[in-house]
Structure 1
Amino acid sequence: MAGQWIELKADDGHGFDAWLAEPAGTPRGAVVVIQEIFGVNHHIRGLTEAFAAEGYLSIAPAVYDRVERKVELGYAEADVARGRDIRGKVDWDGCMKDVAAATAHVGKAGKVGITGFCYGGGVAWVAAARVSGIAAASCYYGGPWNEFKDERAHCPVLLHFGTKDQMIPLSLAEEIPANNPGTIAHVYEAEHGFVCDQRLKNFDATATTLARRRTMGLFAACLDRF
């Protein structure tokens, strides 16, 4: 489903952009998609539209807008450096307010799930603990998991790890679920960022397909109104 830019407002008055994709028929529920460090770029917009194609009202909030608007980066070394710099300036409380606003906006479609990738995987994990209205979360190779490993999720959560990931400690695949009975960690023989087909050295089609199947199973179980 083709998406479009809309503007949302958080409860502190901050206005920000979001990419919204609507399903063809009555929504099964809703999904909030959280970006990598590269902004709501073509890859993230495509993932958002893919969830809409599965029947979910889907939205990707531009959580970088509190620091810099219209951020859309590629995957070269310079883009990585710039993305990390912007990420380091994003306030977590403000980020959660933006996620909450996006969740409320699509909540008209029913129960809301959240998913995120890289930095967004960490955001999705924190949101599963702090943002009301989220019924399930599927979090991919989250950048700040170690920092927030002691958060307590209030909904079922899937965590996706890659055994070849040099940035995310694999030990968290055991540590986080140990503190969260409703959280399940899956480990794949894959690199960091394995879902992104624009990062050819990292992309793994087998891991992506399996993780996607698990994510859709979680959302079907926790979100579907039918």
Structure 2
Amino acid sequence: MSLLGKVAYITGGTKGIGYGIAESLLEKGMKVAISGRSPKSVEEALKNFNNDNVLGLVSDVSKLEDEVKAVKAVLEKWGRLDVVMANAGVGHFAPIDEMSDKDWHQMIDTNLNGVFHTLKASVEALKESEGYYMTLASLAGTNFFATAAGYNATKFGVVGFTQAAMLDLRKYNIKVTTIMPGSVATHFNDHVPSEQDAWKIQPEDIGQLVVDLLLMHPRTLPSKIEVRPTRPDLK
């Protein structure tokens, strides 16, 4: 069950978890398209990859037309699409009485509407390839906490959306999985990873998890996966 020559599209793939997943898939011989909202972030990621098997795309997942264009570009370049990873996400944290309307809607538009737009744009190609659609949710999609009403709402929604989509699409032999990480050492929310994040899940760990899912026998589907650091930060 080789992944050599298979094609993946990863939203939010210019850094963090998306970038780590892309690296892992490239190591297995796959062709990978990554997207980001800004041309600068895409250009920088392409320079870092320095790999002819990477396609960089500018797309705002909150806009269906952007995702349709992105998927079209992947198909025009490589003629197929086997794996789609809806990874793009944002987080704003504040008590609900202090949360702004702007921050609330940005999370809904990106984290929740975005996963629908990415699937809507790619589902026909995935039917053709009998491919795999994955979403990057969070343990915040099952565990609520103070200051996270908006973020919790989107991630609970992503989990529910993905599980229902799995039931809708399995008849086409499309696999659907949501991955729910705990603490990950990424640039999420403008964080800069450092040695102090060594206890956390690393982006390449999620990349390895995605590879393992892709290599699993077609008859078996882990549809919802919780993943967390082995040990919490001990200060």
TM-score, normalised via structure 2 length: 0.46
Structure number having the greater helix percentage = 2
Structure number having the greater strand percentage = 1
Structure of greater Rg:
2
Relative contact order (alpha carbons < 8 A, sep ≥ 6): 1 or 2 greater? Answer: 2
TM-score, normalised via structure 1 length: 0.47
